[in-house]
Amino acid sequence: MTGWVDTALVLLTLTSLLLLGSSRLTRCIRIVAFQGVVLGVLTVTARPTELSLRILMLAAAIVGLKGVTFPWLLSRVLRDAAVRREVDPVVGYIGSLLLGTLMLAVSFWLSARLPLPMPAISGLLVPVALFTTLAGLFLIVTRRTALTQVLAYLVLENGIYVFGVGVVQGTPMLVELGVLLDVFVVVFVMGIAIFHINREFDHIDTDQLTALKDWTA
């Protein structure tokens, strides 16, 4: 199963890099959906000797929410929005890929110095978790479209989950499902908010939204 774990971690790294270099929102949604499916596979293959009905249910919930439900919800929002690609990001796509490569190197450097409570299931796990989290943070800061920022939030949460599944052992299922439910509520509320923002203002550019003022003041 170690080969499956390493394959899943490499796929997470490649999809994060692909997300940094993608401008089309439809492609970004598909990439994040694929990450959700990979996380489900990682959940099952992380600790094969401890495989149980609880882990299978958790993996199914992750694939169902992150691989199907969230992409479907965000695709519906995108269909009603008058935007199909991320225009004029704060950092260009080539620059994002170069900085992404630098973040990956920094993640490997940090992981070699980070004290862990127990050995990780793979030498790639901690650097990939750090890199995925950093990529999500970077996208939140450098992209202007609200929909891309929701996807970036999901990528950030994916990185935190990868760290948890490979390092922390014996987390109660209620806690894991509670975190998934929190993420579901956040994405659901943000999806509805983006839909209404787009309907009222004909755009979902967060830079323009910051210029809004309270006219009753």
Q: Note the pLDDT tens digit of each residue in 9-43.
A: 999 999 999 999 998 989 999 999 999 999 999 98
Report the alpha-carbon distance of residue 213 to residue 152 in Å, rounded. Answer: 27
Contact status, residue 95 vs residue 21, Cβ threshold 8 Å: no
Q: What is the pTM of this model?
A: 0.83
| Placement of tokens 């004909």 in the chain | 202
CA-closest candidate to residue 206, choices 148, 151, 145, 147: 145
Amino acid at 161: Y
Residue 197: φ, ψ to 5°: -60, -45
Q: Note the pLDDT tens digit of each residue in 82-114.
A: 677 776 788 889 999 999 999 999 999 999 888
Contact status, residue 160 vs residue 44, Cβ threshold 8 Å: no
Amino acid at 159: G
